[in-house]
Structure 1
Amino acid sequence: MNLPLQGQLILAFTRIGLLGFGGGPSMIPLVHAEVVKRYEWMSEDDFSDVLAIGNTLPGPIATKMAGYIGYRVGGMAGCIGAVLAVTLPCIIAMIALLGLFMRYRDERWINGMSQGVIPVVMVMMARLTWDFWAKARSSLGAIATVVLAVVSAGLMYGLGVHPGLIIGALLIAALLRPEPKQSTRS
């Protein structure tokens, strides 16, 4: 077992667990920053694939990503360490802070603190959206990306289709799509 690597995994996912205000979706940019940018354990493409697959499965996205990335980087010990690192800080903070919040919930500074986090999370999500737009545009083209985004938004928000079903359908369509024929030049 590579102890320095296990320590990096635990440190990275502890940071994510401590700073992931707003739940799973707000943790995605933090996971991206640690896994792709800081430690370079995954490429942008690999991260996008993990995120897509993770969204099709039930359960919290942060723990699914921690489990898979931990396993990929550090084996079973990495999986266990990453999942515990991303969940334990949240559980401990929740127990401690919820007691304080309930006691001081009418205080102005508590309301201001909870409202102040929202714009930061919004910026993190916007940045991640921009990065995914750039990746999709470069691989699919701008028109196909916009069409898929509009159709997906219509299905999710207009018809109430779960995003996992849409992602699953797109994965199946990609698997069933015939390979483009290679031209041979002599």
Structure 2
Amino acid sequence: MKQLDLFLAFFRVGMLGYGGGPSSIPLVHKEVVEKYKWMNDDEFADVLALGNTLPGPIATKMAGYIGYRVAGFTGMVNATAATIIPTILLMIVLLTSLSSFKDLPWVAGMTKAVVPVVGVMLATLTWDFFKKSNETLGKVNAGLMVVGGLILMEVLNVHPAILILVLLTLAIAKKDNTPKVEKKIERGVG
């Protein structure tokens, strides 16, 4: 049953993720975190951050990792195949018929309508992550990280993968430097 659930979850993502990786991220979140509860929001954010630092399409990287985590090697193959099969089928169908429909106004309108929808989906997911970060970082630190990230990416043209890698490195370094509380056992002298 787990293999079927994996296939259906990522097949839906592949079918509905029109517009590429950014549009599929909220769909993966909906399936993995909300519907099947294979991971929580924090784990999903970690997978997303790690997936963004690696080359290649984000949907297939996330499908492979989540599939492996849920059902091992066969789960990885299953989830990855479920992600790419819809694209392959749609490419064959659309490319064979695209030449006759490409100049129609409703096709151009449909393509233009996708951009704001994907923007809203990403904004919603970002807002959820921001609310979650308020709990751990606090509003001021979370806000400073958002503003700092925007400045680094948009003004200074720092690639997002570099920013994610630096933040992951800092998080790991901070985790290792946290003082460890050790229990001291006092022995009574008899």
The residue aligned with 1:64 is 61
CA RMSD of aligned residues (A): 1.6
The residue aligned with 1:179 is 178
TM-score when normalising by structure 2: 0.89
The residue aligned with 1:10 is 7
The residue aligned with 2:115 is 118
- Bigger CA radius of gyration: 2
Note the 1:107-146 alignment, pairs <5 A.
107-146=104-143
Separation in 2, partners of 1:118, 1:174:
33
- Whether the aligned pair in 1 keeps the contact of 2:38 and 2:70 (CA below 8 Å) is yes
TM-score when normalising by structure 1: 0.91
* DSSP 3-state at the match of 1:12: helix
The residue aligned with 1:41 is 38
Where structure 2 has 5 or more consecutive residues not aligned to the other structure, the ranges are 184-190
- Whether the aligned pair in 1 keeps the contact of 2:32 and 2:39 (CA below 8 Å) is yes
The residue aligned with 1:24 is 21
Deviation of 1:172 (Å): 1.0
Deviation of 1:34 (Å): 0.2
1:150 paired to 2:130: no
Where structure 1 has 5 or more consecutive residues not aligned to the other structure, the ranges are none
The residue aligned with 1:78 is 75
One-letter identity of the residue aligned with 1:21 = Y
Deviation of 1:110 (Å): 1.1
The residue aligned with 2:87 is 90
Separation in 2, partners of 1:98, 1:145:
45
Separation in 2, partners of 1:113, 1:181:
56
The percentage of counterpart residues that share the same residue type is: 51
Of 30, 36, 52, the match for 2:49 = 52
- Whether the aligned pair in 2 keeps the contact of 1:152 and 1:166 (CA below 8 Å) is yes
- Whether the aligned pair in 2 keeps the contact of 1:101 and 1:110 (CA below 8 Å) is no
Deviation of 1:98 (Å): 2.8
Note the 1:162-177 alignment, pairs <5 A.
162-177=159-174
* DSSP 3-state at the match of 2:149: helix
